[in-house]
Amino acid sequence: MLWLPDIDAWDERFPTLVQKVDVAWLDGTFFDDGELPGRDLDQIPHPRISHHLEKYASWSEATGTEVRLIHLNHSNPACDPDSLEAGRIADSGVRVAAEGERIAL
């Protein structure tokens, strides 16, 4: 398993790490840059789900790694399971982690 709840940005090592595990819990703080009106999100570093969703899906599909998003900010529309953003995530084969979920090691 891989646990990356609060990262500033992806670097070239992360895809290799993700592809070596069965489940990867990845930082999903913000869905996109428009999430906090009046704030410059360039000053709040976190990878945006919308910018990386295609990568997450391809990693999952290519390796069988389950990718689950964690650490969602209260402003993240993906917190609402009925939102369009949550639907985009689910349609990609990635998912938002559920509170209390467990995996067998």
Tell me the residue range of the domain where 64 lies.
2-96
Query: Model-level pTM?
Result: 0.89
Residue 85 lies in a domain: yes
Distance CA 95, CA 83 (A): 13
Residue 105 lies in a domain: no
78 — pLDDT class (breaks 50, 70, 90): very high
Region of residue 44 (phi > 0: left; psi between -120 and 50: alpha; otherwise: beta): beta
How many domains is the chain built from?
1
Coil, strand, or helix at residue 13?
coil
Residue 37 lies in a domain: yes
- The label of the residue with tokens 């930082």 reads 27
From the CB of residue 103, how many other CB atoms can be counted at a distance below 10 Å? 10
Q: Per the structure block, which two tokens stand in for 1?
A: 């398993």
Kindly report, residue by residue over 43-65, the tens digit of the pLDDT.
888 889 999 899 889 888 888 99
